[in-house]
A and B are shown apart, each in its own frame.
Chain A
């Protein structure tokens, strides 16, 4: 299969023939069908597909937040005991309105029983890195959407998971804020080199951020194609202006547009 890395290497994430079937009164509904994906350590993989293709479902199955109907998903544990396997950044931010910014960031550490002083230090470090240090004591309703998503991202990073799972994290933001956060994400990722699975419906975003872009078919979600993005790192927003970027995007778009059209016809 295209999505699998060569033999001999132990993948960080190994998803094998994963299916998700929902039982409804109208009969079974297949959301994800026989989907396989291996992600190596330190790799940034973007999954793109038409709306409702089951990409978010797939991510939630990796996170253990949704049950797997068939197949298996495994995340290889790291050397440090007690370190969480995954942390999710949700599209709807999902930062708790009843906790201050810093308590939100420290939440995962608190649940792992890390002492208050230590977890607040870690949280403050990450807040400073995204320029939110002086908003530590604020409640979410007092800050903007872009700031909320930054908090959501550093909440995941502060938790220091084996893999980072991002579910259209910039989907709800306006275009300008989105660009700023894309750059910020690039900068942070290139410093940390976390293993990332990144769900998005934006092709530009996928090509700009990912080492690999996986295309999924419309419902049921199957593997359609895999593209390796060999754009040099460090990348920045300027990368989007290079001819290589445009080439990659055109190539993937050709494949994706057929699928999108098929999906639209299917829905009619």
Chain B
């Protein structure tokens, strides 16, 4: 075998193995990587990078997609899952890494766009710090629970946890969510089943639905004896959830195939039995889709209310750190909001799997 023939032999072997020409793909990838780096460096050297970044960044993204797809062609089926995970988590990680590097090298103004490492440090500082002025902490210092319990029993633990911003927000969302979702689902079922009620309320609900809940908050405050307490905050969350759940449940009930209702009646289900065995489970997929949206809305509403109208809560702490000009902690607050969103969504998915075992 001569030197000249070896690469060709190798290429055909690989091609047979993968069904595609691996060498040409890898050649293309190398070319793209080198080309992109060279193009960006050239732009940076000539000082045009910043003004052309609106093209350079999307173009870089497209090149990255092409490279990943080429690599994807050569991933064995057994490794497929790992490859997909790598894409799903690798991309955000790469974005964070780029952000970090851009900050460290001074390409972006880190006063207003602090690097992920500083945001993480801010988050850590927020987590361990107890603010003796406002008597609050981010989580309520759970590591002190054993000590608080031995000193003050459950009341001591409660005092400790009631200083938590996260718990304050979660409690408002949770209570407001339950208080809004249950009557919302009930009214939605009634509106789905009864045409008269539906015609009477549908327009009104659609009108209230689009109202920004933060805009009606001052009015909600007037209803309560203690306008600055938890009542208005919970009610405004409940209201947002209620409207969404009514509209979604109604759609879910109306979407139930008539043949199921006929079957239910024909086999002797009436009234509550029909509700429990046919209407509620039949509308359940749409109800859960509604709950997902309602959860997101509840988070948005409570965070925006806390921005201006609370002394505790993740929204409050986020806005507070902006007001006193501590951007990395403001970002950390936003990270907590996102984590809460992800966590609560997972919780809802778990509930969905429990309540709807018939869905894959």
Q: A contacts B directly in the complex (CB < 8 Å)?
A: yes
Bitwise interface map of B from 321 to 354 toward A, beta carbon under 8 Å scored 1, else 0? 0000000000000000000000000000000000
- Chain B residues with Cβ below 8 Å from A63 are 266
Q: How many residues of B are in contact with the other chain, CB < 8 A?
A: 20
- Chain B residues with Cβ below 8 Å from A111 are 267-269, 273, 277
Of B140-148, B255-263, B288-296, the one with at least 4 CB within 8 A of chain A: B255-263
A26–B323 CA distance with the chains assembled, in angstroms: 67
Contact across chains for A96 and B262 when beta carbons are under 8 A apart: no
Using known A-B contacts A96-B260, A98-B282, A98-B284, determine if residue A86 contacts B358 with beta carbons closer than 8 Å.
no
Q: Is the interface of B mostly helix, strand, loop or mixed?
A: helix
Bitwise interface map of B from 271 to 297 toward A, beta carbon under 8 Å scored 1, else 0? 001000110011010000000000000
Bitwise interface map of A from 155 to 197 toward B, beta carbon under 8 Å scored 1, else 0? 1000100000000000000000000000000000000000000
Contact across chains for A159 and B267 when beta carbons are under 8 A apart: yes
A111–B265 CA distance with the chains assembled, in angstroms: 10
Which of A65, A86, A108 meets B262, CB within 8 Å? A65
Closest to A108 in B: B267
Contact across chains for A139 and B262 when beta carbons are under 8 A apart: no
- Flag whether A112 is at the interface (Cβ < 8 A): yes
Which of B267, B273, B281, B360 meets A87, CB within 8 Å? B267
Which of A84, A95, A112, A141 meets B360, CB within 8 Å? A141
Closest to A152 in B: B263
Using known A-B contacts A94-B260, A98-B282, determine if residue A107 contacts B277 with beta carbons closer than 8 Å.
yes
Contact across chains for B268 and A88 when beta carbons are under 8 A apart: no
- Chain B residues with Cβ below 8 Å from A60 are 262
Contact across chains for B263 and A88 when beta carbons are under 8 A apart: yes
Q: How many residues of A are in contact with the other chain, CB < 8 A?
A: 26
- Flag whether B92 is at the interface (Cβ < 8 A): no
Contact across chains for A96 and B263 when beta carbons are under 8 A apart: yes
- Flag whether B357 is at the interface (Cβ < 8 A): yes
A88–B266 CA distance with the chains assembled, in angstroms: 7
Chain B residues at the A interface, C-beta cutoff of 8 Å: 257, 259-260, 262-263, 265-269, 273, 277-278, 281-282, 284, 356-358, 360
Q: Which 9 A-B pairs have the closest CB atoms?
A: A111-B268, A98-B281, A108-B267, A94-B263, A139-B358, A94-B259, A98-B358, A88-B266, A92-B259
Chain A residues at the B interface, C-beta cutoff of 8 Å: 60, 63-65, 84, 86-88, 90, 92, 94-99, 107-108, 110-112, 139-141, 155, 159
